Amino acid sequence: MTDALEIRNLRKVYAGGFEALKGIDLTVRRGDFFALLGPNGAGKSTTLGIVSALVNKTSGQVRVCGIDQDRDPEGVKRMLGVVPQEFNFNDFEKVHDILIQQAGYYGMEKGLARRNIEKYLRQLELWDKRNDQVRMLSGGMKRRLMIVRGLIHEPELLILDEPTAGVDIEIRRSMWAFLERINREGVTIILTTHYLEEAESLCRNIAIINRGEIITNTTVKELLLQMDRSSFVADIKGDFGRVPADNPYLMQLREDGSIQFQVHRGDNLNQVFELFARAGIEVVSLRPRTNRLEELFVDIVQADQPQPDGAVIRQPAVAGGNV
Amino acid sequence: MWQYRIAFQAIAGKEIRRFLRIWQQTLIPPVMTMVLYFVIFGNLIGRRIGEMGGFDYMAFIVPGLIMMSVITSAYGNVSSSFFGNKFQRSIEEILVAPVPNYVILAGFVAGGVTRGIMVGLLVTVVSLGFTSFAIHNPVIVLSVILLTAILFSVGGFINAMYATKFDDVALVPTFILTPLTYLGGVFYSIELLPPFWQWVSQLNPILHMVNAFRFGVLGVSDVNVWAAFGMIAVFLTVLVSWAMWLLKRGKGLRS
Ligand SMILES: Nc1ncnc2c1ncn2[C@@H]1O[C@H](COP(=O)(O)OP(=O)(O)OP(=O)(O)O)[C@@H](O)[C@H]1O
Ligand SMILES: [Mg+2]
């Protein structure tokens, strides 16, 4: 079976001369739940914009479900559902009208359109809002409405550019459950997000893009296996000054009085507890400093910073890093 | 086109509903303006003028004024609506969907043509309160009005593609369309002009459309009617190609 998305040597130079994509390659298999991660301005939206025909590419190839974007642009669009990063509604239109209209652009008969609209509005808890103008919806509701709009024609590949930005945690959880469900039902999903917890819990495969280049492309599992250390935060009772400063765990006192430390792969947390115990310190609670993926992400992106002489040192931040 | 019938209906239907919903701004003002023209030029001043081109002055200016309202309404509808879609980015709803460029253009043009023709009809009905005329050649009347409405709808579309702010939408109507219309033989027969200015006037495409239309209504024209049709065809070809080229490049739509 053909891949859901195949990007070959994709370049984008914006009108001002800025090179936002420097010839990227990316493959997303059918049925995948794929995360495209990267810091602000990395080129995520540019990439997804080109796939969804909202941005002109400078060169390169894009194929969706085996269809070449240059040969059959309409064919590609039929396969795609697009949820952009920025709201792009006419604020004075009503929810239901927008969706009927969108279904019309996809050539859907009204009856089928109405059924899908009701199904997805109910699933994303917007059915009560169907007769409201968009301007009366909250930000989180607009995000969900964009998802309904992108799904109305039942696409093969759903592209979500920061679908959960500004959405409260409860709704975010229910959106995750919804996305997992449609993914199980066969829709391939690509999303960008700055919440790495989201990528970790939803996605199977990940690409990290930085300054217009893909610097990592692997499975979430493998990426996490590559982690050679984890950071923890411990709340303690006792005098931190009594812990020997030359310990191998890079212990630091944080502003709130808790202790931050790192444990390398193969190290044993018991050793850390012993160290505390010897200093007469009680460990009251312990938690990971950040989400694991977040820690990796920061490492990988930091290792990709340009050096003063302009060269980029691509030293793998993590053992076996696919950089 | 058949394959995209629903998409076309979606765009055209939305365009038509838009101007019908705000009929107080889209249908009434052009009719009001024309009533003023009828009262002031037709009735008050026209009585002093007497005849023009062999007709009562009022009857002479009616066809030109109908054309003028069709041109302004068709152009204004597409330019402001398409620019509004672009400005709010809701145009992206169409751009991500499998709608070929010619269907997008046709959908918006259908909106402009419908408004142009509705305003034209309203003005015609109102004009009957001031004068009466028989229609000399209905086929010419209908085809000229339809082609003109299409032509200026496409013109409004191009204007909106280039426009980056709302002011840009008013620029062309103010500095090009209005002068060309006033100098396009709406109010006078160019026989009144010295030969040099007659020749210059012949370069004005709107003069040809107005006269072709007047020929259809009254049976008199300052220009050759078939040449006028040829001119409309040439302009239509140029403008449609221009609009299609802009859409293909995504001018002002895709960065
Ligand atoms: N229309 C444009 N014209 C010129 N430069 C642009 C344009 N759009 C984006 N860029 C530039 O291209 C680069 C990539 O932008 P892009 O929007 O793809 O980033 P992103 O990865 O989506 O970031 P974010 O996480 O902030 O959404 C940025 O440096 C941005 O300034
Ligand atoms: Mg972005």
- B236 is a domain residue: yes
- B254 is a domain residue: no
- Measured over the CA atoms of residue B76, residue B82, residue B88 and residue B90, the dihedral's sign is positive
The CATH architecture that domain A5-224 belongs to is 3-Layer(aba) Sandwich (3.40)
- B107 is a domain residue: yes
Residue A240 confidence class, pLDDT cut points 50, 70, 90: confident
Question: What is the residue extent of each domain of chain A?
Answer: 5-224, 229-292
CA A37–ligand 1 middle distance (angstroms): 14
Per-residue pLDDT averaged across A178-198, rounded? 93
Q: For the domain A229-292, what is the CATH superfamily, name and number?
A: Alpha-L RNA-binding motif (3.30.70.1560)
Range of the domain at B245: 2-249
The rounded distance, in Å, linking the Cα atoms of A232 and A251 is: 10
Give pLDDT, residue A315. 43
* Residue A318, pLDDT above cutoff 50: no
* Residue A225, pLDDT above cutoff 80: no
HSE at residue A33, side-chain half, CA atoms within 13 A, is: 20
- Measured over the CA atoms of residue A63, residue A67, residue A68 and residue A69, the dihedral's sign is negative
Set of chain B residues whose Cβ sits within 8 Å of the Cβ of A14: 255
Give pLDDT, residue A189. 97
The CA–CA distances, whole Å, from B33 to B72, B77, B153 equal 12, 17, 20
Give pLDDT, residue A256. 86
* Residue B41, pLDDT above cutoff 90: no
- B197 is a domain residue: yes
Give pLDDT, residue B2. 77
- What is the average pLDDT value for chain A, to the nearest integer? 89
Between A1 and A152, whose confidence is greater? A152
**Any atom of ligand 1 within 6 Å of the Cβ of A46:** yes
Total tally of structural domains belonging to chain B? 1
Residue pair B121/B37 in contact by the 8 Å Cβ criterion: no
Give pLDDT, residue A267. 81
Per-residue pLDDT averaged across B141-148, rounded? 96
Per-residue pLDDT averaged across A249-275, rounded? 86
Instruction: List pLDDT tens digits, range A41-65.
Output: 999 999 999 999 999 999 999 999 9
The CA–CA distances, whole Å, from A256 to A237, A259, A284, A295, A300 equal 13, 9, 14, 21, 28
Give pLDDT, residue A308. 57
Query: What are the residue ranges of helices labelled H in A185-243?
Result: 196-202, 220-225
Q: Cβ of A18 under 8 Å from any chain B Cβ? A: no
- B255 is a domain residue: no
Give pLDDT, residue B230. 94
* Residue A322, pLDDT above cutoff 90: no
Query: Which of A160-169, A309-318, B90-99 has the highest mean predicted lDDT (pLDDT)?
Result: B90-99
Per-residue pLDDT averaged across A303-309, rounded? 68
Query: What are the residue ranges of helices labelled H in A163-267?
Result: 169-184, 196-202, 220-225
Q: Which residues contact B22 (CB under 8 A, 6 or more apart)?
A: none
Residue A262 confidence class, pLDDT cut points 50, 70, 90: confident
Q: What share of chain B in percent tops pLDDT 90? A: 72
Alpha-carbon torsion angle A300, A161, A30, A186, nearest 10: 130
- B143 is a domain residue: yes
* Residue A311, pLDDT above cutoff 60: no
Neighbours of A2 (CB within 10 A): 12
Give pLDDT, residue A314. 47
Residue given tokens 């930085």 in the structure block = A210
Per-residue pLDDT averaged across B180-194, rounded? 89
- DSSP of A244-261: -TT-TT--EE-TTS-EEE
Of A114-118, A232-236, B147-151, the least confident: A232-236
- The conformation of residue A307, written as its DSSP 8-state character, comes to P
Per-residue pLDDT averaged across A4-32, rounded? 96
Per-residue pLDDT averaged across A235-246, rounded? 86
Three-state DSSP state, A167: coil
Ligand nearest to the CA of A209: 1
Instruction: List pLDDT tens digits, range A140-185.
Output: 999 999 999 999 999 999 999 999 988 888 899 999 999 999 999 9
Set of chain A residues whose Cβ sits within 8 Å of the Cβ of B6: 104, 107-109
Q: Which residues pair with A206 in a beta bridge?
A: A35, A218
Enumerate chain B positions whose Cβ falls within 8 A of a Cβ in A: 3-7, 9-11, 13-14, 84-85, 88-90, 92-100, 249-250, 254-255
**Considering CB atoms only, which of B6, B7, B90 is closest to A88?**
B90
H or E, element range at A292: helix A292-303
Burial A98-121 (b: 16+ CB within 10 A, else e): bbbbbbbbbbbeeeebeebbeebb
Residue nearest to atom 9 of ligand 1 (CA): A46
Q: Is the pTM of this model over 0.80?
A: yes
The rounded distance, in Å, linking the Cα atoms of B84 and B255 is: 18
Per-residue pLDDT averaged across B114-123, rounded? 97
Instruction: List pLDDT tens digits, range A87-108.
Output: 999 999 999 999 999 999 999 9
Between A236 and A304, whose confidence is greater? A236
Residue A309 confidence class, pLDDT cut points 50, 70, 90: low
Give pLDDT, residue B134. 84
Per-residue pLDDT averaged across B98-108, rounded? 97
The CA–CA distances, whole Å, from A279 to A241, A256, A270, B79 equal 9, 20, 14, 77
Burial B33-69 (b: 16+ CB within 10 A, else e): ebbebbeebbeeebeebeebbebbbbbbbbbbbbbbb
The rounded distance, in Å, linking the Cα atoms of A21 and A44 is: 9
